[in-house]
């Protein structure tokens, strides 16, 4: 297999591995995600709150996923309008964008936490919901969304509700929730191992190709051929003084090879009072070229 073909195979395998890794990272291990239907404006929004029931001071993740048709809605101009009072941000808002064909999915994630007395009043009810929000494009509302109910619980039992339990902590630090992963560790290890194998194979192929490639020594031209090339280069650059020098050198080399007639013609052109005649120089270089070709043919 030629080195160029081997390199093409290696590059193709690397790209395929990276594409598979990207699909798993974006869509999950099964690579399939069900998309909701768009409304008449070409946009739809869904919300998610986690956890739905939490203790006072816990961080809550609020997420809005907006799916839109880029032909009707500009993703760069999309903003959200939503109120979370009395909750306050526990971290900066995070925005993610994913384009697939003509559709774009925007994911807005908010990390919220409530540490004020106003939150304690919410414990009187079984649940409450944040006010409805809106998806804006350049200030114009293009979609609306509602938040699911959420419940906030005391960290300590309220006095009088449970005899002898006033001040007892309700937090449970012994039951830790199971870890979740964007991509399963086993799948990630397999992908990384495959990618490492591809990179090692590519390195071996490149090393073998480099070792097999032996640099060829540059061919040193005979003096007569070198003089002819210098003359041709000077004429193409219209450097008349260099052309005279090249003609004089050509005359010397022709004389050394016993070509007295050609040497005399080259010397006359080199020392002419005016610029060397172009037609005469053409005829001379043509005859010298035939002479060089004949000598090379005899050597071959």
* Segment 152-190, tens digit of pLDDT: 877 776 554 444 444 444 555 566 677 888 888 888 899
**How far separated are the first and last CA of the chain, in Å rounded?**
33
152 and 227 housed in the same domain:
no
Domain assignment of residue 143, yes or no: yes
In this structure, the answer to whether residues 47 and 152 fall within a common structural domain is yes
pLDDT surpassing 80 at residue 149? yes
Instruction: Check whether residue 239 and residue 140 sit in a common domain.
Output: no
Token pair in block for residue 228:
């002819």
Specify the pLDDT at position 148: 92
**Beta-strand relationship, 133-137 and 140-145:** antiparallel
Query: Do 70 and 150 lie in a common domain?
Result: yes
Structural domain harbouring 268: 223-299
CATH number at residue 137: 2.60.40.10
With DSSP H G I counted as helix, E B as strand and the rest as coil, what are the percentages for the chain, rounded to 5?
A: 45, 20, 35
pLDDT of residue 18: 46
In the chain, what is the greatest distance between 2 CA atoms, to the nearest angstrom? 130
229 and 141, same structural domain?
A: no
DSSP assignment, residue 150?
B
Global confidence as pTM: 0.44
SS3 215: coil
Given a cut of 50, whether residue 280 has pLDDT beyond it is yes
pLDDT value of position 250: 83
pLDDT, tens digit, 9 for 90 and up, residues 27-81 = 444 433 455 678 778 899 999 999 988 888 899 999 999 999 998 999 999 999 9
Identify the pLDDT of residue 14.
47
Q: What is the pLDDT of residues 216-270, one digit of tens each?
A: 656 677 888 888 888 888 888 888 888 888 888 888 888 888 888 888 888 888 8
Single residue among 130, 156, 182 that ends a domain in this structure: 156
15: in domain: no
Q: Encode pLDDT of 76-128 as tens digits.
A: 999 999 999 889 999 999 999 999 889 999 999 999 998 887 777 776 556 78
Tell me the C-alpha distance between 22 and 88, whole Å.
34
Residue 297 binned pLDDT confidence (cut-offs 50, 70, 90): low
Q: Would you tell me how many other CB atoms lie within 10 Å of the CB of residue 52?
A: 12
């Amino acid at each position: 297999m030629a080195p160029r073909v081997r390199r093409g195979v290696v590059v193709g395998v690397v790209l395929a591995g990276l594409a598979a890794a990207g699909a798993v990272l974006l869509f999950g291990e099964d690579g399939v995600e069900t998309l909701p239907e768009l409304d008449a404006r070409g946009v739809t929004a869904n919300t998610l709150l986690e956890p739905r029931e939490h203790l006072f001071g816990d961080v809550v993740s609020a997420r809005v996923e907006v799916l839109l048709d880029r032909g009707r809605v500009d993703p760069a101009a999309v903003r959200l309008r939503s109120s979370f009072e009395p909750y306050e941000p526990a971290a900066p808002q995070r925005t993610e964008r994913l384009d697939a064909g003509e559709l774009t999915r925007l994911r807005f994630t908010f990390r919220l936490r409530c540490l004020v007395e106003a939150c304690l009043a919410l414990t009187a009810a079984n649940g409450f919901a944040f006010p409805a929000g809106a998806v804006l494009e350049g200030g114009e509302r293009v979609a609306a969304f509602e938040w699911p109910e959420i419940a906030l619980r005391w960290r300590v039992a309220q006095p009088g509700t449970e005899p002898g339990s006033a001040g007892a902590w309700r937090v449970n630090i012994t039951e830790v929730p199971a870890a979740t992963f964007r991509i399963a560790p086993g799948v990630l290890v397999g992908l990384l191992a495959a990618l490492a194998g591809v990179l090692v194979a590519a390195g071996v192929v490149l090393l073998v190709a480099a070792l097999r490639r032996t640099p060829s020594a540059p061919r040193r031209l005979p003096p007569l051929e070198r003089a002819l090339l210098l003359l041709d280069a000077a004429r193409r650059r219209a450097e008349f003084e260099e052309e005279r020098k090249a003609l004089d050198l050509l005359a010397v080399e022709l004389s050394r090879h016993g070509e007295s007639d050609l040497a005399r013609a080259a010397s006359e052109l080199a020392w002419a009072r005016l610029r060397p005649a172009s037609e005469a120089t053409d005829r001379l270089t043509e005859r010298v070229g035939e002479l060089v070709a004949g000598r090379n043919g005899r050597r071959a």
